[in-house]
Chain A
């Protein structure tokens, strides 16, 4: 089953297409990282999937349901940069309200988590720091016991230690409950250990969508003479090439090194940066079939 499936998905704001002809499949059981330049369409995509925005064109399903439908709302939790909380409520009342609003609710999870963060207080939600609000929103989102969690940079306001702790907690939920997660992030170093699926958006379109393992297995970082870099493109698919004097560093989509080139496995960071530099390069689902 696919947790996310979109076809021809498009979103236009006045004259500009924030998302255009977007075809994306994310299989279940993954932690999928959504990466792209500012304005690439990440937030728009997540909003459509969360059912907050109705797309201008095309179709999207989450867990097989239409975003925003009752079934989808029951099974999907979303937290974005704006952090959806009632700022004038006391924290206790905010938690109580969330319990009332949701059919499915894990009180133990919410209370334990908030107590351990010293957030279970009668202070106003609006008085909490940005990081604390993010923690609260995330706890409420997970207490709904969703099957899919959509996160739009909600960790951006957390200090490094809290960020690490929250990610650890999220990964535990993934391990224990089989939760699927789609999260947008600019912190590429985090992706390698957290994400198992990578989606790169570029100019409103899906540029890369594949499992991290299949991507790492199908790319090599090549180092060789700059003079040969031109010919290399005829031998293997070159994603990006950077020349420095006599040497060239190339990211290529191949599993064997061409003669005369030194090869080493790529890191996630190199892969993501390589594709971000080259918006025209594509890795789309056919690659997936190999999995």
Chain B
């Protein structure tokens, strides 16, 4: 049960809004899941916050309500959100976010790697390809990519 929060936003209004990236080739529901995830990491969403109401998303982005429900089910499966019948879907628990210091250290390591790649004549596109390939291998490869939700979760875990 969520009690009053000091910075409570108007009832029924979510602090975030979804958008669609058509160029990505990522399923729409997964885009929403990722957007919630990023919003949590960046602090735009906190425990107790309401997610955009299905009918609002449906109307503003012209997406099928099933797509939004699927995204919310996925978030529930990940233990991030929970539905309250007749009210909406709320953030229950922000995922354990890696500390800023740790993030900075990891980024530094990555920068070292990037510099090494550049020295070897690998350009930006090549780096992306290498990183994506390594990430895919890391998260289980081929078969795992058939389960975008779970593979995505693991991928994000790996990246952090």
Query: A residues bordering B, Cβ < 8 Å?
Result: 31, 164-165, 167-172, 174-176, 189-190, 192-196, 216-217, 220, 255-257, 262-265, 267
Q: Which B residues are closer than 8 A to A by beta carbons?
A: 20, 22, 25, 27-28, 54-55, 58-67, 142-143, 145-146, 148
- The answer to whether A263 touches B22, judged by C-beta atoms less than 8 angstroms apart, is no
Q: Which residue of A lies closest to B67 (CB)?
A: A193
Q: A193-B62, A195-B64, A196-B66 are in contact. Are A263 and B55 (CB under 8 A)?
A: no
- Tell me the dominant secondary structure on chain B's binding face: helix
**B25 contacts which chain A residues (CB < 8 A)?**
267
Residues on B with C-beta less than 8 A from A195 are 64
Closest to A178 in B: B65
When chains A and B are docked, how far (Å) is the Cα of A22 from the Cα of B22?
A: 34
- Find B65's partner among A167, A174, A256, A267 (CB 8 Å cutoff): A174
Q: Contact at B63–A171, with CB atoms within 8 Å?
A: yes
Question: CB-CB < 8 A to B60: which residues of A?
Answer: 168
Q: Could you tell me the distance in whole angstroms from the C-beta of B77 to the nearest C-beta in chain A?
A: 16
Give CA–CA (A164, B59) in the complex, Å.
9
The 8 closest A-B pairs by CB, nearest first: A167-B62, A175-B65, A168-B62, A193-B63, A171-B58, A168-B59, A257-B142, A172-B59
Given contacts A255-B146, A265-B145, contact A194 B62 (CB under 8 A): yes
Interface SS of chain A: helix, strand, loop or mixed?
helix
Docked CA distance A170–B64 (Å): 9
- The answer to whether A265 and B146 touch across the interface, beta carbons within 8 angstroms, is yes
Judging by beta carbons under 8 Å apart, are B62 and A171 in contact? yes
Q: Which residue of A lies closest to B54 (CB)?
A: A175
In the complex, chain A residues whose CB is within 8 Å of the CB of B66:
196
Task: Tell me whether A176 and B148 are in contact (CB under 8 A).
Answer: no
B64 touches A31 (CB 8 A): yes
Q: Which of A169, A170, A265, A267 makes the CB contact (< 8 A) with B148?
A: A265
B152 → chain A closest CB, angstroms: 11
Once the chains bind, are B146 and A192 in contact (CB under 8 Å)?
no
